[in-house]
Amino acid sequence: MTGTIAPDAPPEAPEPQPVPLMRALMPLIMVVAVVGMVVLMFVSGMGRNPMSFMFPLMMVFSTVGMMVSGGAGNKDMAPARKDYQRHLSSIRRAVAKAARMQRESAQFIHPRPGTLWQLGAMGRACERRKGDPDFLQLRIGVATQQPATPVTPPAIPAPEKLDPVSAVALREVIRSARQVEGVPFAIDVSAFEIIALTGDTAAQGLARAMVAHSAALHHPEDCLIAVVGDGWEWLKWTPHHGHPSVTDACGSARLRAATCAQLTELLTAIDTLPAAVLIVLANSSGQLDVTELTPIFDAAGSETSVVLLTVVEAQSTLWEAAVNHGIALVVSTTAVHAETASGRQEIGVPDQLSPAEAEVLGRSLARFEVPTSADDSVKTSEDPVMEELGLYPPPTALRYRPRSGSARLRIPVGADDGGAPVYLDFKESAEGGMGPHGLCVGATGSGKSEFLRTTVVGLAATHSPDQLNFVLVDFKGGATFLGLDQLPHVSAVITNLEQELILVNRMEDALRGEMTRRQEQLRAAGNFAGVSDYEQARRAGQIDAPPMPALLIVVDEFSELLSARPEFAELFVAIGRLGRSLHMHLLLASQRLEEGRLRGLESHLSYRIGLKTFSVAESRSVLGVPDAYHLPAIPGIGYIKSAAAEPVRFRSAYVSGPVVRPQPVDGAAAGAEQGLQGQVAAVAEFTAENWTREAFGASSSDGGMVDPPAQTPEQTVLGAVVAAVSHVPTRAHRVWLPPLPEAIELQPDEQLPRQRLTGVIGLVDKPLFQRQDPLRIDLRTTGGHVAIVGAPRSGKTTAARTAVLALADGISARDLHFYIVDCGAGGLSDLAELPHVASVAHRGDEELIRRTLGFLRREVSRREQLFRTNGWLSSEAARAAGQPDSVLVIDGWGAFKTEFPALSDDVQALVADGLAVGIHVLLTAHRWTDMRPAVRDLIGTRIELRQAESMDSMIDRKAAELVPESPGRGVAPGGFAMLVALTGAADTKRIVETVPHGEQAPKLQLLPRRIDIARLPRPAAATRGAIAVGLEEAGLGAVIFHPEKDRHLLIFGSAGSGRTAALRGIVHQLRYSQLDSKFVVIDYRRGLMEAVPQERLAGYAGSAAVATPMLAELAEVLKARLPQPDITPAQLKARNWWSGPTINVIVDDYDLVAGSRGNPLQPLAEVIAHAADIGLNIFFARRISGALRSLHDPVMGAVKDQGASVFVMDGTRDDGPILGVKPCEQPPGRGYWVAHGQSPQVVQLGLLDTAGDQEDS
């Protein structure tokens, strides 16, 4: 960057304005006037009216305002200073940018020694030739230098008038821009005959760096490097160290000698010395006679520079010679000083290069060969195209030179009838090219595919990946571009689209994404109008941005592509319209060209290539003439036509054939094969010393002869070019990523730290953005519930297990618990091995499923209480306090609703309430409509697999049509294709092994099949008379019956359900909770004969004959307890108007008692309504069959109407719902407990520990 930076002059300070006399006297005059008015008002008597003071006060305020404002003459400098500071900020940025660009420019010209080995891959190795302005300029180090773009002070006519603040800021900007630090500097060594360095190790490192720069940047035809003495072994790899004409057994003889005289003999044998000869004196301890090198200086003409480089001790002869006639440098690790006769001067910080780094550089330069006189015996090429492309023969390693001007995107593709090359120029016509887009049509056997391959290979051989990339599309099998995918230029090879038409849409997204990417990159870099301006600014160092290479899109069989997807022509038209500015070029090829197929693309196709066509009409469509139809049936012959020019006949080059090596003239290498008949000699070690042929032969004979290598297939030109560019590190931007595979394994996201409730379960394909992102689930926020929906065999169960494993991977089992309900085919069974899994229930495990849902509902309530108690405001706060998250997984939501309709409401409640307290739900279903809106609307994470009908999709119906049949494939938000990872037992085992030993989620405990009533928890002391009757399933807590509140209990159950045993247990509990109570037992089957001791038994009836009078008498006793009219309110409250025990009426087999012959309990019907006042509790048990009818019985109906608790035990659906409970099969002692005003809950009643309980009805 050259020129200057010119800041504006600072603003001038405002000049002080004189104050007019009238303005100075005005406040005094007004004060006097106000005082006079006030005095006049008081004297005249007007002062008594407050309003009379308004006018004087207004005059006072006006005077004060004038004094405060100071007039309009004062000028505020703050805005001007602020504007100038903004201007100076832009100047500072310009100065910083200029300094950075100066450093980068110098760094480009003089790279750091440690990076020299990379120049070969960048196409810059050995780029300097004789006559270049930087020839023989060797870098020494970095230093502080004058800016290339200095800041020029503005012209200031009168500095004393400037604003001082702005002037000081300008002075500081100018001062800070006087120097640029860290700029590489070099010396032109051609002006000196000797360069001496001193400083031990640091001097050796600098000398090594200087020689490395001469080897890495200068062409071996123009610069030779010779060594006198030992060391500098790494130079043997460089072509600069090889003798141009003398050879030994290993090739070119090395320019190395033990004495100066020997080196003089080697160098003077060269007919014409190159432009530069650098001689390194390795032995500088006085043993060398430098005068022996005089003939070299004499032989060097005015066009050759001979320079001696040595590391010596100060005060030596060579040092004194360097001080007086050359360059003498004193080197340390931190500074380098130039010593002259007048003293030392520091010039910068020296470069250093280690021997290992020098070795790497030398080996990287070994691929470049020095032309020898033997080249004169090479025959000329018979293929002008290959010769011009530099592929006759193909080199072992291609070196790229930037192609600019007319050479850019211009290559020979064939030869005309006279043998002259025929060029194809992809530049637009404004740049002298044929245009960015073209058409190629050729019938079967015309050589169309070979022509496309030749075009790609020719461009790849002449343009680096930084200048040109390819997208190669073959609608059919892909043979056209076979092997070209290894080129570093290739952004995409898209083949076999005919078999998978879904890839056509994906390719369209990828190409549209590339157009968008280029437009955004141009906009971000500085709103450039096109790639040409962008690249020009980048090369000039005006922007720091990556290169944007041209993109050639070659589409073979495009006509068939448009037949399958006619709408794809719109993309071609868009590329044709925008491709000029974006440097996106189209080359469309096809066997046939149908009329109207191009659909508006004709105007963008500026050049046409017609090989042998099927018909005259096709030839006219392509070229405007019938000539292509009349071509001979020889592959590769065709016409090329651009704009209004006449078609040019050519014959295409051939890159699929074997490499043709130039053959020496007879006798040129007669001795090369001598003595090696059927055998090859053993390879000797390549050293810096030269080998004689005799010595090499002796070594070979000592080591014996080895068999020749096996014959290998001949290499094609295409393969040779691919191999020659394999070393290039730069790779094309990937426009096309491979499509999603059939299956992928579960892989954690390495880019993000592992967090609870997050996981990667698959891959999302985003061709429009040219990337494939991990498919993540995140249950921490609004996505806390997950729904996986897909058709049968779409992989829902696998997706659910993958989600569970992804969430559990790397997370402690103390922090995350899973409760799994598998209503499918058992695909989640093995997840029970995970320490994070508390339970796995299958479709037939109704008890476990009910227990799971009940536990989680209780868990919601428990956590809500914890939130209130601890003041947690969010689930994050609860996690920080150590609370685990719980996930309910239900695989097969439709089957779950059908099998357990009553429990679906619990799931809906969990979805609504659980997320706030860290309880999540994961469901799988066949269709979205399987979920009620109340559930579906609360699902934040939706994973949609293949749908049975695309209309069922809730994400993108159009994208759903394209989902393949493979399990795990689906549609991600945004309409992108996705693939869920396939997991199996190995993944489960891997995650189990990562969990520390001993970590385990609490396993979900089921209700025991039998509970000893003596082990039930005792009710709290405050609940006087309450008894524990069993355990409830949801929380395994005690079920408490309060006789004084609940009063009555109705038990329904089938034979063998444990009705009698339940009554026996309840009687046992009542005996110890109501010490003053009496029992009246109606027991027709004699199952309760010994349940009540005689001292507590008020009556026992085993038949209707006994029961009828006994209950009639009991009814009279109870009626006597009814309150009489004279009872006071205090007595009613204290219930002390009667005395006696509480009566517990125990009736077993009520269905037998209330038979057709009359109900002995009928007399009690009148007093049941007053049971709370008269001390009456009733406990009925009966068969469940007919229970609905019995509820209309006067006695049982009256008991029910009093809010009695109901226990529904084993039964069938035919027994009908009883108080909202549908009877079902239950183990003995278990049923639904329905307390008044509460939801039914599953309860296991406690039983007395007696053998007879198992036999009870």
Instruction: Name the 3-class secondary structure at 1027.
Output: strand
Q: For helices 531-539 and 569-582, give the axis angle rounded to 10 degrees.
A: 30
Tokens of 289: 């006679």
Quote the distance between the C-alpha of residue 917 and its chain's center. 30
Q: Could you write out the DSSP letters of every residue in 1213-1233?
A: GGG--BTTBPP----TTEEEE
Neighbours of 24 (CB within 10 A): 9
Contacts of 108 (CB under 8 A, 6+ apart): none
What residue has token string 């590329």?
575
Q: How far apart are CA 1072 and CA 1067, in angstroms?
A: 9
C-alpha span between 1075 and 1249 (Å, rounded)? 22
Enumerate the β-bridge partners of residue 339.
Answer: 344
Tokens of residue 1228, six digits: 């003995």
**Which has the closest alpha carbon to 816: 870, 779, 857, 855?**
779
Closest CA to 732 of 488, 459, 458: 488
The C-alpha atoms of residue 682 and residue 1065 are separated, in whole angstroms, by 102
What is the spatial distance between Cα 727 and Cα 716, in angstroms, rounded to a whole number? 18
The two three-digit tokens of residue 7, written as one number: 């800041």
Give the 3-state DSSP-derived string for 202-260, with helices as H, strands as E and coil as C: HHHHHHHHHHHHHHHHECCCCEEEEEECCCCHHHHHCHHHEEEEEEECCEEEECEECCH
Dihedral sign, Cα of residue 872, residue 873, residue 879, residue 883: positive
SS3 991: helix
Is 1105 exposed, middle or buried, given 0-12, 13-18 or 19+ CB atoms closer than 10 A?
Answer: exposed
* Active-site residue, selected from the candidate residues 450, 557, 859, 1033: 557
Bin 1086: left if φ > 0, else alpha if -120 < ψ < 50, else beta: left
Cα within 13 Å of Cα(1112), Cβ side: 8
DSSP states along 329-350: EEE-SS-EEEEETTEEEEEEEE
- Give yes or no: 498 in active site: no
Tokens 């509460």, located at residue: 1238
Q: What is the C-alpha separation between 930 and 184, in angstroms, rounded?
A: 72
Q: What's the start-to-end Cα distance of the chain, in Å?
A: 104
CB 1145 within 8 A of CB 1164: yes
User: Residue 1002: is it exposed, middle or buried by C-beta count within 10 angstroms (0-12/13-18/19+)?
Assistant: exposed
Give the whole-angstrom CA distance, residue 1106 versus residue 136. 132
Torsion angles phi and psi, residue 422, rounded to 5: -110, 130
Exposure string of 116-144, with b = 16+ CB inside 10 Å and e = fewer, is bbbbbbbbbbbbbebeeeebbbbbbbbbe
Strand partners, 1145: 1080, 1178
The 8-class DSSP code of residue 1150 comes to: H
What percentage of the chain's residues is helix, strand, coil (to nearest 5)?
40, 20, 40
Active site residues: 557
